[in-house]
C-alpha cells in the first residue's frame, strides 16, 4: 500500500513527508483493519509534520479524519461488520480508570493516545483503529464530506460547548477554516448571531454564504459585543482583541492544540467584568457521537477540496498558506 510518513519534522515547504510502499498494517486483537476512503487534512497534521508538537512516534503516518471501510474484524466483536463505513477520529485510547475518565472527562486522560500522532493514521491506503474508538457515521454524506466532521466538526462542537454560548447569543469566530465553517453552522442552527473575523478573502466569502451576520478582518472589532468567542486561528496575537470584544461575563475558547505566544494582557481591558479564557483539549467520545447525531439531523454544508493521496504534501502546503477555504481531503 502507499503511505506517507514524517521522517524528520520540519517546515512543510521543505517536504518533510515521504511516501513509501509497505505491506498492509496488522491490526491488534481489539482493532479493525480499515481501507481508507477519505482522510481530512487537519491543521493538527500540520503541527505534527512541522514539529510544533513533540514527536510521539517516530516516522508516524499523519491523519485523523479518516472515513474507511471495515476490511476485517476480530471474531469476538459484534458491533462492526466487514463492509461497514466508519470514522476514525483523533482520540484513539484512554485508560478508563483515572479520575478524569471516571468523571466523564476522558479527553483529559493522562494516558490518552491519538491517531496520527501516537499511532499511524490515515495518510495511507489502509489503517487500523481500536474498536472502542471507531465511530458510526451519519447517512446522506459523501466520504469526502464526512472526513472533516471527524475532527474539525467534533472539536468545533466541543469548543462551542466550552465557550458557553447562551441561547440566542452572539458568537465571534476568529479564523474561518475547516473547523470554524462547521461550528458556525451549529451556532446558527441554534439561533445565534455569528460574527466572523478572518484574513482570507475566500474564507470571508464562505462565511457570508453560510449566513454570518458580519465578516471583517482578523483583528477588527465586531459590530456588537460578543457573548462568546472561539479562536480557531493558532495566532496568540488575536487573543487580546478577542477578549476585548467580549461583553461582561463572556468566554473565549481557544480551539487549537497549538498557539503562538499570547501578548501581555491588560487586566482592565481584557479580563475585568468576569471575562474569561478557556483552552480546548481534544474531546470525549460522547461529544463526538453528539456532534455526529447533530450532523445526521441537520444537513451541514461541508466545503471541501479534494487531493489525490499522492499530493498530501501539496495539500498541507496549501493549508499552511491559506490557499483554500473550508477543508482539504485526501482521496485514494
Q: Given this model, what pLDDT does residue 79 score?
A: 84
Set of cell numbers at residue 121? 493514521
Q: The pTM is what?
A: 0.94
Element (H, E) at 179: helix 178-189
pLDDT in tens, 70-125: 999 987 667 899 999 999 999 999 999 999 999 999 999 999 999 999 999 999 99
Q: Where are the alpha helices (DSSP H) in 219-297?
A: 239-245, 285-297
Q: Which three cell numbers stand for residue 113?
A: 493516545
74 neighbors 131 (Cβ within 8 angstroms): yes
Contact predicate 173/216, CB 8 Å: no
Which parts of the chain register pLDDT below 70?
Answer: 76-77
pLDDT digits (tens, 9 = 90+) for 123-151: 999 999 999 999 999 999 999 999 999 99
User: Nearest-CA neighbor of 243 among 221, 223, 259?
Assistant: 221
Would you report the helix, strand and coil content of the chain in percent, each value rounded to 5? 30, 25, 40
Domains along the sequence of the chain with CATH: 2-150+282-331 (3.90.180.10), 153-279 (3.40.50.720)
Amino acid at each position: 500500500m502507499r503511505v506517507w510518513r514524517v521522517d524528520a519534522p520540519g517546515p512543510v515547504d521543505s517536504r518533510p513527508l515521504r511516501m513509501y510502499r509497505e505491506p498492509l498494517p496488522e491490526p491488534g486483537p481489539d482493532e479493525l483493519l480499515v481501507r481508507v476512503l477519505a482522510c481530512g487534512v487537519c491543521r493538527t497534521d500540520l503541527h505534527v509534520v512541522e514539529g510544533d508538537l513533540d514527536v510521539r512516534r517516530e516516522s508516524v503516518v499523519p491523519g485523523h479524519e479518516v472515513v474507511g471501510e471495515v476490511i476485517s474484524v476480530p471474531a469476538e466483536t459484534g458491533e462492526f461488520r466487514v463492509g461497514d463505513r466508519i470514522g476514525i477520529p483523533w482520540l484513539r485510547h484512554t485508560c478508563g480508570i483515572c479520575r478524569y475518565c471516571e468523571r466523564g472527562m476522558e479527553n483529559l486522560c493522562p494516558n490518552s493516545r491519538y491517531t496520527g500522532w501516537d499511532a499511524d493514521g490515515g495518510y495511507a491506503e489502509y489503517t487500523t483503529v481500536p474498536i472502542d474508538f471507531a465511530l458510526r457515521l451519519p447517512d446522506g454524506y459523501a466520504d469526502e464530506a464526512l472526513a472533516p466532521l471527524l475532527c474539525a466538526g467534533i472539536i468545533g462542537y466541543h469548543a462551542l460547548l466550552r465557550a458557553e454560548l447562551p441561547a440566542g447569543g452572539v458568537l465571534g469566530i476568529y479564523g474561518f477554516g475547516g473547523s470554524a465553517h462547521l461550528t458556525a453552522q451549529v451556532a446558527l442552527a441554534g439561533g445565534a448571531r455569528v460574527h466572523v473575523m478572518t484574513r482570507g478573502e475566500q474564507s470571508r466569502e464562505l462565511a457570508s454564504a453560510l449566513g454570518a451576520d458580519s465578516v471583517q478582518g482578523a483583528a477588527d472589532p465586531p459590530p456588537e459585543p460578543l457573548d462568546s468567542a472561539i479562536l480557531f486561528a493558532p495566532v496568540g496575537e488575536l487573543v487580546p482583541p478577542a477578549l476585548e470584544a467580549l461583553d461582561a461575563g463572556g468566554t473565549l475558547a481557544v480551539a487549537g492544540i497549538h498557539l503562538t505566544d499570547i501578548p501581555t494582557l491588560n487586566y482592565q481591558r481584557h479580563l475585568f467584568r468576569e471575562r474569561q479564557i478557556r483552552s480546548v483539549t481534544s474531546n470525549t467520545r460522547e461529544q463526538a457521537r453528539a456532534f455526529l447525531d447533530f450532523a445526521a439531523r441537520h444537513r451541514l454544508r461541508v466545503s471541501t477540496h479534494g487531493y489525490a493521496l499522492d499530493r498530501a504534501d501539496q495539500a498541507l502546503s496549501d493549508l499552511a498558506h491559506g490557499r483554500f477555504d473550508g477543508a482539504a481531503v485526501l482521496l485514494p
